[in-house]
């Protein structure tokens, strides 16, 4: 394969190749994407490789995903935390929980949301803590925002009112149960 042999000099061509390999996933993609996630000179391409590996997490890729979750690249760590969201693989939570302590609040937020999506309420205070940083997804952004995702996973909705979310969690944290369809 051209990606493995590094035949693509163009960053755009490598990005498209990684995207295609990730989209048309096979087990044979793991070593190729693993190598690209670790070695490619473009952080963006490493991001797409990590994202594809995380979305398709398997027993064959768990070790490389764990390695990537400790990458020097914030984008790679973020891709892994985000890519594991709603994973059906039982190892996903094992990978994402240590990322609660990542140096990047973006990675922390993605890890928290992923934990929530997997039915782990320990992700809720992680996400709420990251709301002290104003970002595009902590405000109305074309109908997509962090609060909308929280509402989807938690079954409550306080809109864009950060303080209402924080107050709610302070009251319910000990008794909170996920909506039935979100429990592990």
pTM of this prediction exceeds 0.85: yes
Q: Is 128 domain-assigned?
A: no
Would the pLDDT of 13 be above 70? yes
Specify the number of domains making up the chain. 1
User: How large is the average pLDDT for residues 44-62?
Assistant: 94
In a domain, 20, yes or no: yes
- Establish if 155 belongs to a structural domain: no
Question: Cα–Cα distance between 110 and 81 in angstroms, integer?
Answer: 5
- 41: domain range? 1-83
Predicted local confidence at residue 2, as pLDDT:
46
- pLDDT, tens digit, 9 for 90 and up, residues 150-183: 999 999 999 888 999 999 999 999 999 998 654 4
Question: Is residue 55 in some structural domain?
Answer: yes
Tell me, yes or no, whether 125 lies in a domain.
no
Q: What 3-state DSSP class applies to 6?
A: coil
Mean residue pLDDT across the chain: 88
Could you tell me if residue 145 is inside a domain? no
The confidence score (pLDDT) of residue 181 equals 56
Which of 108, 91, 107, 101 has the alpha carbon at shortest distance from 56?
91
- pLDDT digits 0-9 by tens, 86-140: 999 999 999 999 999 999 999 999 999 999 999 999 999 999 998 887 765 666 6
**Sequence-separated (6 or more) residues with CB below 8 Å from residue 111:** 81, 96, 97, 99, 100, 102, 123, 126
Whole-number percent of the chain with pLDDT over 70 = 87
* 24 assigned to some structural domain: yes
Q: Identify whether 124 is part of a domain.
A: no
């Amino acid at each position: 394969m051209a990606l493995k042999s590094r035949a693509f000099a163009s960053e755009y061509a490598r990005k498209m190749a990684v995207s295609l390999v990730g989209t048309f996933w096979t087990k044979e993609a793991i070593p190729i994407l693993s190598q690209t996630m670790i070695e490619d000179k473009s952080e963006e391409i490493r991001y797409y490789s990590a994202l594809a590996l995380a979305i398709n997490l398997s027993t064959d890729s768990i070790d490389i995903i764990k390695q990537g979750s400790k990458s020097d690249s914030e984008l790679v760590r973020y891709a892994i935390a985000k890519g594991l969201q709603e994973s059906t693989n039982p190892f996903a939570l094992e990978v994402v929980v240590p990322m609660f302590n990542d140096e990047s609040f973006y990675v922390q937020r993605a890890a928290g949301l992923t934990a929530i999506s997997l039915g782990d309420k320990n992700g809720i205070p992680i996400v709420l803590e990251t709301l002290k940083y104003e970002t595009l997804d902590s405000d109305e952004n074309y109908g997509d925002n962090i609060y909308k995702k929280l509402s989807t996973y938690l079954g409550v909705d306080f809109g864009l009112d950060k303080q209402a979310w924080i107050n709610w969690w302070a009251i319910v944290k000990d008794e909170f149960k996920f909506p039935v369809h979100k429990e592990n």
